[in-house]
Amino acid sequence: MYDITQYGAVANSVTLNTTAIQKTIDVAAANGGGVVFIPKGVFRSGAIFFKPNTSLQIDPNGVLFGSNDIADYPLGPSRMEGQSLPYYAALVNADRVDNFSVSGGGTIDGNGLKFWKEFRTRKDSMKAIGQECTNLEVHRPRLIFIQHSNHITISGMKLRNSGFWTTHLYKCNNILIENTDIRSPFRPVGAPSTDAMDLDVCAHVVVRGCYMSVNDDAVTIKGGKGPYADTLPENGLVEDVLVENCNFGDSHGSVTLGSECIHAKNIMIRNCISNSIAPLLRMKLRSDTPQLYEDITVENCTGKAGKIVEMEAWTQFFDLKDSKTPPKAHIRNVVFRNVNMSCDNIGILMSNPNDTVENIRFENCQFTTTGNVTIQTNHPEAITYLNIIVNGMKLK
């Protein structure tokens, strides 16, 4: 184990420890690998880059505290919003580091307040002149970015206050995120675009026993966007994702497919509790991106949500480029089974005009709602109800 204080790190929340922590990682890697340990205390740092055979462990009373100066996060080849492009490093970075883990029970705090305020200021100024501010206009670091890596574990951590997305995994396989508490605030200053988990061209993922409440989507399925997204090698499928025994606080969507997603397959949400105003399952349908969402199951979930399901057209940053024909979305085999929840209304299943929707099933569910007792949809032929009770009455 390599203790960062043995390489010059100082726990006073003010000293910038980037060089000392990176030296610790480099020494561990040069010696064949090992655990980089952050002890009790608050250690401020900019971006750090893990190398093969290294991992991160933080003491339960230890904090890796992010710098709020974007200059401490170098610009380099990256992946953001369904595109491969130069962007700023995260606080914790791992590229081609198989068997990478983040553990120990400590905290990674992105110290994002300054970035959130800068984004809100930019967004408000653009709105005042009738223009839209994109998420990339104000430079903000993510908390954790792991790419091109296999057998990843994030366990028992507290992830807080990211400047941008909290945990972004790109082209990774065999991922376990468990017993981790992820939060960013809605007020007094909202933390924009602080998704809890972004799964981007990943496979074989287990998210288990986590708590998530962030000022954007919680578990987010990504993979690419744009009219030619399905032809680009950097984009692709997200498949075999299990989200179980999680607890969802407020967000924009507990589990969300999109807004940068071309193919999601075999997504299971089970034994989860929601205490949220957000949809339990949210599906964003872009009319500028070919999309296939298939084999999605929600079962044995309880609690409350704004909607059980929300599927609607998504037009944010719409761009057909030079394509003359809007791509289509296909949604098929979505099942809600043994879901017992209260909600503002059961939901909405609306698509773009040329999309296809097949086999949406509700089985053995009980809903209590203060709003609509039926689902608003332009695909009633695709929906089947089997033993569904709404406000004590059987839904036909």
Q: What is the pLDDT of residue 179?
A: 98
Within a domain: residue 138? no
* pLDDT class of 52 with cuts at 50, 70, 90: very high
Q: What is the pLDDT of residue 227?
A: 93
* % of the chain with per-residue pLDDT over 90: 89
Region 13-36: mean pLDDT is 98
Judged by average pLDDT, the poorest of 60-64, 167-171, 189-193, 371-375 is 371-375
Q: What is the pLDDT of residue 186?
A: 93
- Which residues are paired to 170 by β-bridges? 147, 200
Q: What is the pLDDT of residue 372?
A: 79
Classify burial at 3, counting beta carbons within 10 Å of its beta carbon; exposed 0-12, middle 13-18, buried 19 or more.
middle
* pLDDT class of 295 with cuts at 50, 70, 90: very high
| 281/125 Cα distance (integer angstroms) | 33
Within a domain: residue 249? yes
Within a domain: residue 76? no
pTM over 0.95: yes
Region 8-34: mean pLDDT is 97
* % of the chain with per-residue pLDDT over 70: 100
pLDDT of 126 > 90? The answer is no
Within a domain: residue 272? yes
Look up the CATH number of the domain holding residue 372: 2.160.20.10
Q: What is the pLDDT of residue 11?
A: 98
End-to-end CA distance of the chain: 62
Classify burial at 27, counting beta carbons within 10 Å of its beta carbon; exposed 0-12, middle 13-18, buried 19 or more.
middle
Within a domain: residue 387? yes
| 122/116 Cα distance (integer angstroms) | 10
Within a domain: residue 229? yes
Within a domain: residue 346? yes
**212, 177 contact by CB (below 8 A):** no
Q: What is the pLDDT of residue 325?
A: 85
Q: How far is residue 62 CA from its own chain's centroid?
A: 24
- How many domains is the chain partitioned into structurally? 1
Sign of torsion over alpha carbons 82, 88, 90, 94: positive
Among candidate residues 296, 288, 311, the one with its CA nearest the CA of residue 265: 296
Q: For the segment 299-351, what is each residue's pLDDT rounded down to a tens digit?
A: 999 999 999 999 999 888 777 788 878 899 999 999 999 999 999 999 999 99
Residue 5's SS3 state is helix
Q: Which domain holds residue 391?
A: 216-396
**95, 74 contact by CB (below 8 A):** no
Within a domain: residue 267? yes
Q: What is the pLDDT of residue 278?
A: 96
Which one has a higher pLDDT value, 60 or 394?
60
Q: For the segment 80-119, what is each residue's pLDDT rounded down to a tens digit?
A: 989 999 999 999 999 999 999 999 999 999 999 999 999 9
